[in-house]
A and B are shown apart, each in its own frame.
Chain A
Amino acid sequence: MKAPDFGYVRPSTLAECLATLNEYGDEAQVLAGGQSLMPLMNFRLAKPGILVDIGGLPELATTRWETDHVVIGALTTHDTIATSDTIREQIPLLSDAAPHVAHVAIRSRGTIGGSIALADPAAEWPACCLALSAEIELASLRGGRRVPADEFFLGLYSTDRQADELVTGIRFPMLDDRRAHTFDEVSRRRGDFAIAGLALSCDLVGPKFKDIRVALLGVGDRPVLARGAMSVLEDAEPSDATTETAIEALSAELRPPDDPMYPPDYRRQVACVLLRRALNKLMG
């Protein structure tokens, strides 16, 4: 079993890569780590005319530290994120989520940029981006732009990236010590696609939740912010009653897909359990 025929391009500079995407548009498909694209090609669900292998652009695998942001290069592997001490220090939510990304042999090649560009609704990084108010950095011959994660994921495997654009990095705000995070997911076995997952980020100063962000994966056609639950929790004091109200709001707002393996009610139930666990963890 192998991919259908395609033309292979391995640009040696970013300019060459952007020129190639500009020339071929929709016909071109970017190959990063290939850990999602290769299965799709092996199954012939993806049939790119031109495969643009960006493995020759090591500058996309670096992490850039700005005054108040961290930009993780698109070609940074899941494993690099999982084992980075500086990421553990600055964006611990990513370190907590990384072990949930597939298996060790997949994490060694799969990349954060590939995961963001593919936008699988059950993937960990898109939900983390929502929870952390990250921005997606895109480049094209027309110039560069940044898109807030809230506006980037448009539907099932659908994003705001245009055909001539390359995801070059993910820009995360650097967070101070008051920020609390938690990530958890439920899957049938370790590394399998999540039935549901939850990424939460908030300030816990004094007795109240502030600037809380609750993002879920696996419960829709894209990663979703639980705006109902967030509005219950914002400025609320942590308590069992607050938790129950937030769970009711979450249950009411989720519209999980109907699939043969997991009925919507089951995914909704799992999501609610994850929110309860997350809030209990934050309350210690």
Chain B
Amino acid sequence: MTPEPQSHVPISLKVNGELVTAELPVRLNLVDFLRGDLGLTGTHIGCEHGICGACTVLVDGRLTRGCLMLAVQANSTNVETIEGADASGRLMVLQHAFHRSNAIQCGFCTPAMLLSAAELLRVNPRPTRDEIRDWISGNLCRCTGYQAIVDAIIEAAA
């Protein structure tokens, strides 16, 4: 009746469209699995408690903190990282806008910022500056002061 507690669990999921199977220690966070096991280092690790947003990826199409999800919870899901989103070309308009607006300085927040911005434009194709500020409040940038990032997202939405 009561399931036996496990220390390792086999999982099978899609990462950027490719099927991945692995047997993982249960305490491994999704972001550590993506970076350490799969070598997808475009997803960054910052605060590791959900504040900075650098580890944001898409799980079944929803923006998700890679540091606040166990890798084993991603079993049977579809995960997209910055590598997959970049290769698909779906970020191109935003990437060019970030480049033109100089919305990048050290680049640490940029992968997650792009994924968040793309998701905003998907649900709200013509956001106001306030709506952009609100949406990206979960993605910290310590370099740009956000003006250039908001400019870039406005430009990409135009």
Contact = CB atoms under 8 A, between A and B. Distances in A.
Interface of A: 1-11, 15-16, 19-20, 23, 31, 34-35, 38-39, 42-43, 50-51, 53, 55, 79, 99, 102-106, 108-109, 189-191
Of listed B7, B49, B68, residue having the most chain A CB within 10 A: B68
A104 B69 CA distance: 15
Interface in B19-40: 26-29, 32
Contacts of A16: 1-3
Nearest to A34: B68
A122 B18 CA distance: 41
Contacts of A105: 53, 56, 63-65, 116, 138
B70 to A, nearest CB: 7
Interface stretch (B81-89, B90-98, B129-137, B147-155): B129-137
14 contacts: A3-B27, A6-B27, A8-B72, A16-B1, A38-B70, A42-B48, A55-B73, A102-B138, A103-B53, A103-B137, A103-B138, A104-B138, A105-B65, A190-B133
Contacts of B116: 104-105
Contacts, number: 109
Nearest to A39: B49
A2 B5 contact: no
B67 interface: yes
Contacts of A6: 5, 26-27
Given A190-B137, A191-B137, A5 B3 contact: no
A35 B68 contact: yes
Given A34-B73, A39-B68, A109 B62 contact: yes
Contact of B68 (A79, A109, A190): A109
Contacts of B48: 1, 39, 42
A103 B65 CA distance: 10
B94 to A, nearest CB: 16
**DSSP class of B's interface residues: helix, strand, loop or mixed?**
mixed
A2 B137 contact: no
Given A11-B3, A104-B116, A105-B64, A35 B50 contact: yes
Contacts of B5: 6-9, 50
B143 interface: no
Contacts of A2: 27-29, 32
Contacts of A50: 5
Contacts of B68: 34-35, 38-39, 106, 109
B2 A106 contact: no
Given A34-B68, A38-B50, 10 more contacts: A10-B72, A35-B65, A53-B72, A103-B53, A103-B138, A104-B63, A105-B63, A106-B50, A108-B64, A191-B138
Nearest to B55: A105
Contacts of A189: 137
